[in-house]
Structure 1
Amino acid sequence: MIKHHPSDETLFRYANGSLESGPRIVVAVHVGACTACAERIAGFEALGGSLLHDIEPEDMEAGALDHVMAMIDTGEAGRGKAAPAQRLPRADVGIRLPEVLDDCGIGPWRWIGPGVRWSRVTLPDDDSANVMLLKVVAGRKLPEHTHAGYEYTHILKGAFSDARGRYGPGDLDEADDDVQHQPIVDKDGECICIAALEGQMKLSGFFGRLIQPLFGG
């Protein structure tokens, strides 16, 4: 059972397209597995459509439609045949990833500390997005950290806990700069999750400072 969800603010930003591309892909993974959040987003989209319907229309300038159609014709003529989509490189990460990630590039697992590995996730429309897969062995503690901005983490396999509760498969942990936490993976199995950052993570301790360059800052 999914117990932890994105905030209404995050779901609203997802619905209106203002959520950054990195967090957006993580929320999309969650929404694909969470009926409650999918219904919540549908409600926000319906509300947005209703608000647009109620807006008093503005008169268009003379010739505005002809101008727009001419721009479309020029763009189509200059574009020509669209180049075939190229599938980004994908390494085998050991589990079947959600379909929403099918067009993303998936890097190989890389060691960043005892029992901790990460894999870069590259988005097809934004290769600068800070998105990663994390795999942590059973019972391992992650570095204690806070954030400059938001960290969105969706659990794909296994579970971890911190002072706020336990997060299992399908849960999404949304943490901001008010959260100082040290996730601990359950002892009965490894944990694999996908995470994205809005802003930068602030890691503490020797190990945290050692791997800080991977997360920016």
Structure 2
Amino acid sequence: MRVVIAEDNVLLSSGLELLLNSQGFEVAAIAIDAEGFLAAVETHRPDVTIVDVRLPPSFRDEGIRAAIQARHDHPGLPVLVLSQYVEQEYASRLLADAQGGIGYLLKDRVSRVAEFTDALRRVADGGTAMDPEVIAQLIARGDPIDALTARERQVLALMAEGHDNETIAKRLVVSDNAVHKHIGNVFLKLGLSAGDSGHRRVRAVLAYLRRHGVS
């Protein structure tokens, strides 16, 4: 699995490269700015990308804007944002195309290698991997999804973090059947027709995040 990284911190990017290589990934390129990242994506056509929000020259939002541009140029390009900051407006825009393959993790909250690499693989496969703090900040921007109950929103938030049904059941201390029922209700209330359950799961998560993050 080929990876392109956009990260200007040499120590962090070198550490990511060593870590990913040891876990079976191939780091095709490391870019230190948005222009270099877009060029690397065009050249290497990676299976997944890792992007910091703030890159040279201004260290504001160059990275995440480049990620949005890359997704525009290469629809469905998997992007995992790895940053110290939650840029709500751009995070919402990144989620808005509803194609999946999106992650947003906060550097200070990534504590286990296995969790990080699992999240990266999930994003590469078209899923989502959202830090709970990112979800909380996006939710704070908008109105709740009125059609969903409080429990259904809990289930959907855990889905956005990338958890499977068994893990959600353990987190909420309910049965697997209860989780299955809640997810079915979520699909119904969000108007997601029957089909591939994995695809509907991604679409449900993205619908939830868009409703809470896009004005």
Range of TM-score over shorter length: under 0.3
The structure that is helix-richer by fraction is: 2
Normalization by structure 1: what TM-score? 0.23
Q: Find the structure with the greater CA-based Rg.
A: 1
